[in-house]
Structure 1
């Protein structure tokens, strides 16, 4: 009882303690939930209509597209620039498909399996012509070939693991094409529905035909705006405000961008660095001159150009090297010589020059055995049988091979990073064997029986040892540049300091405006993703850390000058104000010039007022006329001329883009073109569709697209 009494006496304290504990528990859960949400957000590449796509999902789409592109172009790898194009294409395709899918869902539009089958049966879609299922005789997509492949794919997957991997690559490519086809069909359905809302009629067609083909000839009186000095025009704040309100829709911004100032230091080789490299190259030249096999010299030099030791076409060499080959004698050495365009030092030794086929058709039988000796013995037997008239394909099938005819081209092997002895022997045999000749090639692990069936495209081929190296800076040079720039950044931690003192310290201050999250490189400098991430997390006036970027040869510091948010750019924006001011000045000049021409009733009177008089021909309502006297395209003048009768003088001055005009119509003729009502109406419908194509922009705005790719790619 005493204990209960004590508890009751301290009830308020206990309630407080329990309350605090509960609050701490709830707060902890809230913090954990917030952190989880933040971590999830950090993994989002972007979103469309509130639907988020994770970095893993986006990477999967990029991988699919990359593999498809490799198969289409026959490439093993894509460079950085190509990969950036892939990522842009994938993102744009993803966004557009989401926009169309959202609209299609509202309208009940879908793509059925039967519709897809109809496209496959027709076989004319350009996407289908990029697949391996094209009939080489007709040049059309062959749906039966596709069906056979899909059946074989299932069979090979179960019975032949080696072939399964090849089939898998083609299958993935086909599934990619099929998905793209479905997206394309859905977009076409939506666009077709939209197109049927845009109609034309015979009356409109006749008017449009006349507007396109009725030509006017005029005598033109021009008073250019440039005849009045800008300094003589007074512009008030109220003028700017009124013009801004008029032009405001022009300044709408759909994505947030940022304006920056930056200092970029590119580190170059010093005079001492160049001297050291030239000395090194002098030694390379001596070694190459006496080397019977230059492969060791080239390999030790770490040349940018690999040495294969076989004749290849000029295309295998850099352009500057290829340009020298025909002027060199076999065995001669050219260089060292510097190429300023690619910043390299170069040496060439021409080992051989010969005419060889660019492509060779051949067939082969691969011979293996329990040992190399056993393989050689079997190969000798096959070789003898072939020389005695045995059927090549029958022998190939006997040893579990097809012996099918195959073409090999120079391009297939000339850019290989390296080549072993067996491969060199193999390619040399294919290049030099006469047509129908058979050769037994002994390899390290077995033998190859090859027969050349055809040779095409005899070209010059070159075996050249090339040492090409970038004239690069040394560690000491980089360290010196880094320390100097780091001292400048440290001494100027504010935006004001960077801007004020950059030139004094020997650095060039540069600007970049309208930087968006869609950029791959900041200020066009490679490897600047960290700088981009900083930029879109910074505040106006912030100064970035010093970034080491580019190809490890750039030092960069960035000042965030201005954030341009989504919405309408204000008149306070310097760029906007400049545009508005130019428009106001043009309006005021137009007022003065129009007042000057007030009451003028003839071309002669206009000339007396200082106007330039020129004849202008072939003016139509449909095409804005270009005026040489003012150097501008003037749509308003084209419209005004069409409304004035032949022989009449228009007393109302026309305000144009570059001046004020008066004119007299001196002639009017119709072009000798036959009117086709149906063709003209179709043309108008197509034009209307082009105008309506901006619907994607409207959908994009409504979708509230977020692009965070810069955080990951």
Structure 2
């Protein structure tokens, strides 16, 4: 089953190809008959197009997707960050199925068995299948396709090979259905030639103009009165401006678990008590690995390279085996022992041949590297062997040359081998990349360097300190269960009140590690009068070294924001409109009978500015910003005429066209312009058509209740 192994080896590629289509085949009748999905509201994790989605159905799909991914990747477990991506992928697939399958049924879009045959082994083979069964000549080996399918048919249900194929097959069916739908929508798009030509003509015209602008900031806000009735009227007429997405805000206090004075003393004592054993120990590497918080550092330091001046002075005056410390650095108590003293170069020039392991077989890679080393000993040219054998193509073209590098620039085993070599010595060393044949071809002058064995212990809060912090948090929560007392206690106890703005999908609150549980708690309660409780019914949440007590301080629902939340914004808009009316009236009066824009500018005490190369399709005016009304007026204004006052975003404008020119608009130009427009619309169709259907399906996402 070589092809099946090939499928597995290309697990990442297949994962990308099937994308949103992964696992659709297991939905079956459960998705078509909403009956099995209707369950207790406690287990409802979503509602799509009026149908309830039960968490058990989602979890079943998700668990199956995990197993498929393990099979495709060969992994026994999936990293946590990949789990989140996979869960989101399964969710998006469920939404797509509910939304699109209804459309496909209504429009009669489907894939026949004959069409599927054609996609798998016929004349129009799907790119996914083509990629899997492509031979060395770039052609699809149809005999191999047929042989593989026969093996799959004979394989028992539930075998990994069959699962691979079912997912791939379902993926190409989903892709083809979606492609048909998108094509159908795209074919319905129409750009009238008259409209295209008008847009092309307007877009070809470019104008230069002079303008004046009177900023709204010249009128003080305090001089403009805004009544409550005006606010209500503006709100009712502009509700679309006040749409908001859902969000919640929490206020919380954090009781940090910080080491006490006793914890610092205890850590220092632990290090002091270890000093005698450390001094007598002969195997310093093992001692550090067994007793220290940090691994043994094989690095050799030159004079003044150690950042701690006392340790640096010790290292270059002590005898081998001497111990310095304890000393305190970076919240750790440490002891340093002089382990090695060597004369080493600061930098070396080396070349290498990399043999990458095939299917993780490092022994075979090392054996090949050893055989290459033997060939070098017989007089073979290093550069020729590197070009013919090295997996590092970046250096292979240069005969394996890596140039000059300093200590610590390469991975540790490679670094140690290079800096412990004599000039022209050949070594074989294994790293995570494979087996390397290394030869140092040059090196800088050797200088004295030291290697230190450092035993360290981080100062951490003891159990007693942790319990004390928890007791404070529990006491605060127990005495302040309601919003009013919560707020008063923060002030009275001089605590730091923090806030966090949340969305349902928020995974992490800044400063609080693994804080998803607090987000879920905020969304599982609508009570703004009581502090939040965890799943264990506790008022104290634990996140790393922090104990947190929180309360909901604001809830914003999806839809139109309440008028009281938008009063300040509405007042600014109304003041701007009233300022515009005043300025327009004044400008209109001062421009009566004016022969030039300069005369109006002088009366208004304004500066005449200019803009050039502005067309109907321009996005902004250099120096003025985004002013679509001014741009549209400029594109239509007759040259030499002074415009009426124009209400802009930053102020009121008046302008006069000083120059204009237009590119020739031929039939060929219009045709090319139309093609660009159609391509742009078609490109947006795939997303916008689905988004419109999704919006119409009124997807209610309640995943926050469970994850």
What TM-score comes out, normalization by structure 1 length? 0.65
Quote the offset at 1:248 in angstroms.
0.5
User: Cα gap change, 1:357/1:689 in structure 2, threshold over 3 Å: closer, same or farther?
Assistant: same
In the alignment, the residues of structure 2 paired with residue 570 and residue 557 of structure 1 have an alpha-carbon distance, to the nearest angstrom, of 29
- The Cα shift of 1:110 comes to 1.8
Once the two structures are overlaid, the 10-residue window that deviates more, 517-526 or 281-290, is 281-290
Q: Distance in 2 between matches of 1:345 and 1:115?
A: 71
* d(CA) in 2 for partners of 1:648, 1:593: 20
- Please say if residues 223 and 610 of structure 1, whose CA atoms lie closer than 8 Å, have aligned partners that are also in contact: no
Name the structure 2 match of 1:561: 553
Q: Check conservation: 2:333, 2:456, Cα contact below 8 A.
A: yes
Structure 1 gaps of 5+ residues are 1-35, 159-163, 312-319, 321-327, 367-386, 388-404, 410-423, 440-451
What is the SS of the residue equivalent to 2:661? Answer: strand
Aligned partner (choices 644, 653, 657) of residue 661 of structure 1:
653
Counterpart mapping for 1:187-266 below 5 A: 187-253=178-244, 256-266=246-256
Are the counterparts in 2 of residues 135 and 141 from structure 1 also a CA contact under 8 Å?
yes
Cα gap change, 1:38 to 1:47, in 2 (>3 Å): closer
Q: Indicate the larger mover: 227-236 or 657-666.
A: 227-236
Q: Is the 8 A contact 1:519 1:710 kept in 2?
A: no
Cα deviation for residue 671 of structure 1 reads 5.9
Provide the rounded CA distance (Å) in 2 between the counterparts of 1:175 and 1:344: 55
Is the CA contact (8 Å cut-off) linking 2:477 and 2:539 kept in structure 1?
no
Tell me what 1:543 maps to.
531
Corresponding residue for 1:316? none
Q: How many residues align?
A: 580
Q: 1:614 aligns with which of 606, 609, 619?
A: 609
Q: Does 2:698 match 1:708?
A: no
Superposition pairs of residues 662-677 of structure 1, within 5 angstroms = 662-670=654-662, 676-677=669-670
- 1:336 Cα deviation (Å)? 9.6
Q: Distance in 2 between matches of 1:226 and 1:334?
A: 68
Could you tell me how far apart the structure 2 residues matched to 1:344 and 1:81 are?
Answer: 31
Please give the residue correspondences for 1:146-225 in structure 2 after superposition, counting only pairs within 5 Å: 168=160, 172-225=163-216
Q: What secondary structure is seen at the aligned counterpart in 2 of 1:294?
A: helix
Distance 1:276 1:591, change over 3 A: farther
- Whether the 8 Å CA contact 2:203–2:617 is kept in 1: the answer is yes
CA gap 1:221/1:708 in 2 versus in 1, 3 angstroms: same
Aligned partners of 1:457 and 1:589: how far apart in 2? 78
Is 1:481 the counterpart of 2:476 in the alignment? no
How does the TM-score come out when normalised to structure 2? 0.65
Q: Which residue of 2 aligns with 1:638?
A: 631
Q: Describe the superposition over 1:640-668 as per-residue Cα deviations: whole angstroms up to 9, x where unpaired.
A: 11111233321x22212222211111222
Match of 1:399 in 2: none
Distance across 1 between alignment mates of 2:332 and 2:86: 30
Distance in 1 between residues matched to 2:206 and 2:178, nearest whole Å: 40
Query: Are 1:133 and 1:142, in contact at CA under 8 Å, matched by a contact in 2?
Result: yes
**Offset, 1:468:** 8.4
Distance 1:657 1:38 in 2: 51
1: CA distance between counterparts of 2:178 and 2:454? Answer: 52
Query: 1:494 maps to what in 2?
Result: 482
Q: What do the CA deviations read for 1:446-473 (whole angstroms, capped 9, x no partner)?
A: xxxxxx999699999xx99998877643
**Quick one: structure 1 residues 471 and 665, their matched pair in 2 at CA, closer, same or farther if it must change by over 3 Å?**
farther
Task: Flag the 1:59–1:295 CA change in 2: closer, same or farther, 3 A.
Answer: farther
* Cα pair 1:288 1:294 within 8 Å, conserved: no
- Cα distance change of structure 1 residues 482 and 119 upon mapping to structure 2, 3 Å threshold: same
Measured in 1, the distance between the counterparts of 2:626 and 2:279 equals 63
Q: Distance in 1 between matches of 2:671 and 2:333?
A: 66
Distance in 2 separating the partners of 1:490 and 1:82: 39
Is 1:682 matched with 2:670?
A: no
Mapped to 2, the partners of 1:77 and 1:222 lie a distance apart of 64
- Structure 1 equivalent of residue 567 of structure 2: 577
Q: Quick check: 561-570 or 272-281, which moved more?
A: 272-281
Separation of aligned partners in 2, 1:133 and 1:588: 70
Residue in 2 that maps onto 1:107: 107
* Aligned-partner SS, 1:624: coil
Task: Tell me how far apart the structure 2 counterparts of residues 612 and 296 of structure 1 sit (CA, whole Å).
Answer: 78
Aligned to 2:504: 517
Paired residues of 1:49 and 1:704 also in contact (CA < 8 A): yes
Contact 2:44/2:54 (8 A) holds in 1: yes
Cα distance 1:137–1:289, how it changes in 2: closer, same or farther (>3 A)?
farther
Are the aligned partners of 1:123 and 1:141 in contact in 2 as well (CA < 8 Å)?
A: no
Residues 665, 490 of structure 1: alpha-carbon distance in 2 compared, 3 angstrom cutoff: same
Are residues 215 and 356 of structure 1, via their aligned partners in 2, closer, same or farther at CA, if it must alter by over 3 Å?
same
Give the conservation status (yes or no) of the 8 Å contact 2:37–2:52: no
Measure, in 2, the Cα distance between the counterparts of 1:480 and 1:470: 20
Contact 1:100 1:190 in 2 (8 A): no
- Closer, same or farther in 2 for the Cα pair 1:232/1:362, shift >3 Å? closer
8 Å CA contact retained: 1:531, 1:547: no
Please give the residue correspondences for 1:342-491 in structure 2 after superposition, counting only pairs within 5 Å: 359-360=354-355, 472-491=460-479
Task: Check conservation: 1:495, 1:541, Cα contact below 8 A.
Answer: yes
Report if the CA contact (8 A) 2:38-2:51 is conserved: no
- 1:282 and 1:203 map into 2 onto residues whose CA distance is 89
